[in-house]
Structure 1
Amino acid sequence: MTRELVYTGFMSLDGVVDSPGGKAEGHRSGGWVMDTEFVPEAYSLKAEELADTTALLFGRRSYEAFAPYWRDSEDHAAYKELPKYVVSSALTEADLVDGWGETTILRSTEDVAALKQTEGGGIFIHGSAELARRLGEADLIDRYNLLVFPVLLGAGKSLFSRADRDKQQLRLTESASYANGVAKLIYTVQH
């Protein structure tokens, strides 16, 4: 039995996943999550995921953005002792954030495939659009936990490839919509 690999993230209605938290992340419309009316129940998915998360997986840029903040964040305290994996061809042990628990550097998609074959539960990818796109193309992602926001950004990083590929069937396993227009969509990939 393989470990479940889950992408979780915020997405605009037109499929953009970058810069949900602020302009410092690089997108000219950055901060689009904060521009949506705050309705607590729209974010309940994030708390629900904690029970399923046994490891975290990041691309280098998302790791460098999240690790220093999440290490000291009360909201993310449950992540501190979880094993963390960073996929990067350039990152070194010296680049890892101190005080945020065990972190292992993986070098390739093949390393992620091997990680999925180990003992343990769900591995969750936060942010990391380019990594998630590569892993999706390699049919390694098992589930997408998406919070889709009622905004059209027109440009930005997409979670899904635009390359011609074999059709991949998804099954909607859970959905909800909230007063602020956010929709929770959980899709299981049919392998």
Structure 2
Amino acid sequence: MSRELVWTGFMSLDGVVDSPGGVEEGHRGGGWVLSTEFLPEAFALKGEELEETTALMFGRRSYEAFAPIWVGSEDHAAYKDLPKYVVSTSLDEHALVDGWGPTEVLRSLDEVAALKQGEGGAIFVHGSAGLARALADAGLIDRYNLLVFPVLLGAGKRLFSTEDRSRQQLRLRESETYPNGVVKAVYEVIR
């Protein structure tokens, strides 16, 4: 049995996952999650994920954005000692953040595939839109945990590839809508 690889994150209705927390992340419309009324129940999925996560995976840019903040964050304390994997051909291992648990740099999608074949539970990919597209195109993502926000951004990094590729069927595992317009959609990839 292989480990499950789950992409999790916030997405605009038009598929953009870029800069949900603020403009400092790079998108001119950044902070779009914060402009939607906060309802705790709409974010319950994030708490559920904490219980299921046995390892984290990031692309280089998302790692460089999240690691310095999450290492000392009370909201992300449960992640501190979990194994972390950064998929990058350019990240120097000396640039890894100290004090945030074991972190390994994977240099290829073949290394990700080998990791999935090992022992352990679910590996959650946070942010990392470019990595998510590459993992999906390689058939390595098993599930998408989406919180879709009622906003159209028009441009930005998208979760799903726009390349011409074979059809990929998904199965809706769980969904819920909230009064603030957020939709939770958990999809399993059918192989």
Q: TM-score range by the shorter chain?
A: over 0.9
Q: Which residue of 2 aligns with 1:187?
A: 187
Amino acid at match of 1:16: V
Distance 1:90 1:170 in 2: 33
Q: Which residue of 1 aligns with 2:156?
A: 156
Distance 1:69 1:138 in 2: 30
Distance 1:130 1:87 in 2: 11
Per-residue displacement from partner, 1:141-162 (whole Å, max 9, x unpaired)? 0000000000000000111011
Deviation, structure 1 residue 52: 1.1
Q: Which residue of 2 aligns with 1:110?
A: 110
Q: Which residue of 2 aligns with 1:123?
A: 123
Q: Which residue of 2 aligns with 1:101?
A: 101
Distance 1:154 1:169 in 2: 25
Distance 2:3 2:45 in 1: 20
Instruction: Give the TM-score taking structure 1 as reference length.
Output: 0.99
Distance 2:172 2:143 in 1: 10
Distance 1:68 1:53 in 2: 20
Q: Which residue of 1 aligns with 2:46?
A: 46
Amino acid at match of 1:18: D
Q: Which runs of 4+ in 1 moved over 3 A?
A: none
Q: Which residue of 1 aligns with 2:7?
A: 7
Per-residue displacement from partner, 1:103-139 (whole Å, max 9, x unpaired)? 0000011110011011000000000000000000111
Deviation, structure 1 residue 140: 0.3
Deviation, structure 1 residue 13: 0.1
**3-state SS in 2 of match to 1:110:** helix
Amino acid at match of 1:165: R
Q: Which residue of 1 aligns with 2:33?
A: 33
Amino acid at match of 1:63: Y
Q: Which residue of 2 aligns with 1:92?
A: 92
Distance 2:86 2:162 in 1: 25
**3-state SS in 2 of match to 1:162:** coil
Q: Which residue of 2 aligns with 1:20?
A: 20
- Aligned pairs, number: 191
Amino acid at match of 1:136: A
Per-residue displacement from partner, 1:72-130 (whole Å, max 9, x unpaired)? 00010000010000001111121000110100000011110011011000000000000
Taking only the aligned residue pairs, the percentage that are identical comes to: 73
Deviation, structure 1 residue 46: 0.2
Distance 1:113 1:82 in 2: 19
Tell me, which stretches of 5 or more residues in structure 1 are unaligned?
none
